[in-house]
Amino acid sequence: MTVTTVVTGLGVAAPNGLGRDAYWKAVLAGHSGIGRVTRFDVSRYPSRLAGQIDDFDPSEHLPGRLLPQTDHSTRLAYAAADWALDDAQVGAGDLRDYDMGVVTANALGGFDFTHREFRKLWSRGPEYVSVYESFAWFYAVNTGQISIRHKMRGPSAALVAEQAGGLDALGHARRTVRRGTPLVVAGGVDSALDPWGYASQLSGGMVTTATDPLRAYLPFDAAASGHVPGEGGALLVLEDASSARARGVGRVYGELAGHAATFDPAPDSGRPPALGRAAAGALADAGLGPADIDVVFADGAGTPHLDAAEAEAIGSLFGAGAVPVTAPKSLTGRLYGGGGPLDVVCALLAIRDGVIPPTHGVSEVPDAYGLDVVRGEPRERPVRTALVLARGRRGFNSAVVVRAAGD
């Protein structure tokens, strides 16, 4: 007997909206969260844009004692987990402590916090380093803090795979559900918008130097010149469908029906890249064929050679122009471990409302890509299934299939 894994709660912290509803409204209306970096003087940087979350007041969402212990990214994750569990109407005592786990992706750790501690160490001395640094920094921090907050003592983990890690976290959470843990909070939230973190993100060589926030990150556009980094992400509540029914869950966003991950061959091997194989693997895992998929939420790197490679992967699987493709992340920037889960949220809301959000800002897609990129206005049509793709720097590929509940 195979366990069906459903999504019962969504928690969103995105540059263009805090909370599920604010984010979804912004996505459909084309409100961008990308702007000039305001946390420090960015004038000497070759790039100056980011998807920043500016309207988050941590003291509204965290107990005061946690404020000195947590990085900005962890505070966002903490709030997003609260929202997701509220959304899923998980009450205290609904489930045993060992029946709930937490699996997050985290590509950056508590970087801003850590930058300050590095500085204290090297400018003042070891005795000035915070007693919280040992756990505010490491990649497991969000998983640990969420588990403590909600007394979740089941199997838990933290994964790192740059932008692909968020979908891997959902995949691992689904495996955890199938192996007998009825509820897992899963997804990812990342941030590193301090001076060093931002410079480090630029060092990857993939960030655009464009200055117009609305025309800076243009996945699949002929004018694509790189991406804009952002902060935030999403946490989802994944549940065993029968357990969710047993606790009287009224609304299910959809089923996490398939997942697969692959890795590109070594750069000098001459072997083909592996994104298409991840997509095909996720479809097979879901028991679906390409014709069953209503929309693809693309990785949308926004760098021409990577866009071309993704177009090739999608085209080979679906045929030229055969499936609508979209990348709403043009409004948020790339969110590392948070990117994939936020796209999955978007896909589930597309299923709920029967509307495909567009890739805002994109106007001209090269014919050679052979892609039906959804542009301009949202496209209203029934959506039953969606494929979500993510790639991580150095060769990670991950794919998730979601479908309407009961399909």
Residues 275-294 that bind other proteins (CB under 8 A): 277
Nearer to other proteins, 194 or 372 (CB): 194
Q: Does 154 bind other proteins (CB under 8 A)?
A: yes
The stretches of 179-222 forming alpha helices (DSSP H) are: 195-202
Q: Pairing mode, if any, of strands 372-373 and 324-326?
A: parallel
Minimum Å gap between C-beta 2 and other proteins is 11
Q: Does 392 bind other proteins (CB under 8 A)?
A: yes
- Applying CB under 8 A, which part among 75-83, 157-165, 219-227, 297-305 lies near other proteins? 157-165
Nearer to other proteins, 158 or 313 (CB): 158
Q: Does 81 bind other proteins (CB under 8 A)?
A: no
- Out of 141, 237, 279, 365, name the contact with other proteins by CB under 8 A: 141
Nearer to other proteins, 53 or 108 (CB): 108
C-alpha–C-alpha distance, residues 238 and 240, integer Å: 7
C-alpha–C-alpha distance, residues 185 and 152, integer Å: 9
C-alpha–C-alpha distance, residues 40 and 37, integer Å: 7
Interface with other proteins: number of residues (CB under 8 A): 87
Burial string for 242-270 (b: 16+ CB within 10 Å, else e) reads ebbeebebeebbbbbbbbbbbbbeeeeee
Minimum Å gap between C-beta 42 and other proteins is 8
Q: Does 247 bind other proteins (CB under 8 A)?
A: no
- Out of 23, 198, 253, 297, name the contact with other proteins by CB under 8 A: 198
Interior angle at CA 232, CA 281 and CA 156, nearest 5: 60
C-alpha–C-alpha distance, residues 15 and 328, integer Å: 12
Nearer to other proteins, 204 or 289 (CB): 204
- Out of 25, 55, 223, 265, name the contact with other proteins by CB under 8 A: 265
Minimum Å gap between C-beta 238 and other proteins is 16
Minimum Å gap between C-beta 54 and other proteins is 21
C-alpha–C-alpha distance, residues 300 and 264, integer Å: 17
φ/ψ of 99, rounded to 5, equals -95, 10
Q: Which two tokens stand for residue 158?
A: 């933290």
Q: Which two tokens stand for residue 383?
A: 């959506």
Q: Does 40 bind other proteins (CB under 8 A)?
A: yes
Residues 297-356 that bind other proteins (CB under 8 A): 336
Residues 201-230 that bind other proteins (CB under 8 A): 201-205
Residues 100-119 that bind other proteins (CB under 8 A): 101-102, 106-108, 111, 114-115, 117-119
- Out of 151, 248, 250, 305, name the contact with other proteins by CB under 8 A: 151
Q: Does 271 bind other proteins (CB under 8 A)?
A: yes
Here the contacts of 313-318 (C-beta below 8 Å, separation 24 or greater) are: 313/273, 313/275, 313/276, 313/279, 314/276, 314/279, 314/371, 315/369, 315/370, 315/371, 316/276, 317/276, 317/279, 317/280, 317/283, 317/290, 318/290, 318/293
Minimum Å gap between C-beta 255 and other proteins is 18
- Out of 7, 13, 161, 236, name the contact with other proteins by CB under 8 A: 161
Q: Does 52 bind other proteins (CB under 8 A)?
A: no
Residues in the chain: 407
* Residue 2: count of CB within 10 angstroms of its CB: 6
